Amino acid sequence: MTETLFTNARLIDPVALTDSVGWLLVRDGRIADSGTGAAPTTKGETVDCAGACLAPGIVDIGVQIGEPGERHKESFRSAGRAAAAGGVTTMVTRPDTATPIDTPETLEFVARRAQSETPVHVLPMAALTKGRDGREMSEIGFLMDAGAVAFTDGMQVIENTKVYGRALSYARSLGALVIGHVQEPGLSKGAVATKGKFASLRGLPDVSPMAERMGLDRDISMLEMTGAKYHADQITTARALPALERAKRNGLDITAGVSIHHLTLNEFDVADYRTFFKFTPPLRSEDDRIAVIEAVKSGLIDIICSMHTPQDEESKRLPFEEAASGAVGLETLLPAGLRLVHGDHLTLPELFRALSLNPARRLELDCGRLQVGAPADLVLFDPDAPFLLDRSTLLSRSKNTPFDGARMQGKVVGTWVNGVRVHGE
């Protein structure tokens, strides 16, 4: 029997939405007890949190790792270290790797690599269609048996609605979660910026934010038709929100996420064609950013993720239109998320509801909360500690972060997975 007692902690409870000073006892990898009064005694280790915040570890849906095929961009080992340093205790990995993860065999390879290389939990997602080319559904049943927690073709939209409908119905029969990318493909094709003054000034191919609403509307219709369990990967525009709200009210099994980058940056951050600010979907207007933050606060948008997308220097040192899209985010997800707290948009429990609790609930995991019996996946952090981000210090193999040189607040002091410390001393 091993015990760890955390004392003098600000306990961030995303279930009760409370933020109170207290103690938390971990026994044999699970949360055994907690309280706000005098701490009990323990024969095990005592961690004096000295007023720092103790929260359930982050469950990050949509992490891309370069295995198989592009280990030079990110290996399980480097991603695992980055995750531990960023307070991410569960990485839900994407199947849109160089070789798509669309067969049980590939999935087993990935799971084995993850198991041996990373200190944090790794839950793989698998492709919804073979080769992610939108023609034939993958072996959803076998893939689930092999451990796939969700099915998605990543940012590749399945254009053929017959194929998509069949995949959704089949997935429903197995209770599989499908994650969709809600951008109408015709309008979005070739676009690297959001339609508006900025894109016009810079002369970049642009897409109306309406493409997102159309993509979401289509998927909502598909859900009404099939009854599938569904998550929209990134909702980034104000115009998509009423549709999402209606779908939830109508009782569809739908949740939605947003990347931290769309919550903390806007289209003007691209400035003079800075390719580290190129995302799919592209960064939005400030009005959209604010609307989406409010939707996170109200709970309409359930989940914040990093959309961790490692890219090497060669993929980014290109003219904007040709450069690869995406950014690494495992290590910056929490400090960037804390910008929303310091900016008085969200409270700490609200932030962790979106970072930890809701993604865990969506994937039917028992982590993501500070409740007795839950796994002791924990992050201890000082929410105020200021620092200047230097991308060369990131543990990810790829250093493509839009926050290079940015002033940030919030440092991870320690990370625990199943009660075992995986980061910090």
Site residues (vs other proteins, CB under 8 A)? 195-204, 206, 208, 272-273, 314, 317-322
Q: Nearer Cβ to other proteins, position 277 or 416?
A: 277
Nearest-approach distance from CB 318 to other proteins, in angstroms: 7
Taking the complex as a whole, the smallest distance from the CB of residue 287 to other proteins amounts, in Å, to 13
Nearest distance from C-beta of residue 265 to other proteins, angstroms? 18
CB of 187 to other proteins, least distance (A): 13
The H-or-E segment that residue 314 falls in is: helix 313-316
Contact (CB, 8 A) for 300 and 371: no
* Nearer of residues 142 and 273 to other proteins, judged by Cβ: 273
Cβ–Cβ under 8 Å, residues 238 and 292: yes
Residue 368 and residue 361 in contact, taking contact as beta carbons nearer than 8 Å: yes
Q: Which is nearer to other proteins, 21 or 318 (CB)?
A: 318
Q: Which residues neighbour 330 within 8 Å (Cβ) at sequence distance 6 or greater?
A: 60, 63, 79, 82, 83, 85, 86, 88, 91, 306, 308, 396
Note the Cα 313 to chain centre separation in Å. Answer: 23
Q: What is the SS3 assignment for 321?
A: coil
| Shortest distance, position 270 Cβ to other proteins, whole Å | 9
Distance, in Å, from the CA atom of 188 to the CA atom of 373, rounded to the nearest integer, reads 45
Of 198 and 279, CB closest to other proteins? 198
CB of 274 to other proteins, least distance (A): 9
CB of 405 to other proteins, least distance (A): 16
Question: How many Å apart are CA 117 and CA 422, to the nearest integer?
Answer: 12
Any alpha helices (H) in 61-160, and if so which ranges? 76-86, 104-117, 140-145
306 vs 398, which CB is nearer to other proteins?
398
From the CB of 155, what's the least distance to other proteins, in Å?
21
Phi-psi region at 416: left, alpha or beta (left = phi > 0; alpha = psi -120 to 50): beta
Q: How far apart are CA 188 and CA 86, in angstroms?
A: 32
The rounded distance, in Å, linking the Cα atoms of 191 and 229 is 29
By beta-carbon proximity to other proteins, the closer residue of 208 and 347 is 208
Amino acid found at 173: S
Q: How near is the Cβ of 200 to other proteins at its closest, in Å?
A: 4
Q: Which is nearer to other proteins, 322 or 344 (CB)?
A: 322
Q: Quick check: 60 and 94 in contact, CB under 8 A?
A: no
187 φ/ψ angles, rounded to the nearest 5 degrees: -65, -35
Shortest CB 164 distance to other proteins, Å: 26
User: Who's near 416: CB < 8 A, 6+ residues apart?
Assistant: 4, 26, 57, 89, 376, 377, 378, 379, 380, 422
> Which CB sits closer to other proteins, 269 or 294?
269
From 398, 391, 406, 403, select the one nearest 313 (Cα to Cα): 398
Nearer to other proteins, 160 or 200 (CB): 200
Enumerate the β-bridge partners of residue 382. Answer: 411
Closer Cβ to other proteins, 120 or 192, answer by number: 192
Nearest to 268 by CA among 342, 200, 345, 340: 200
Cα four-point dihedral sign 84, 85, 91, 95: negative
How many whole angstroms separate alpha carbon 19 and alpha carbon 193?
39
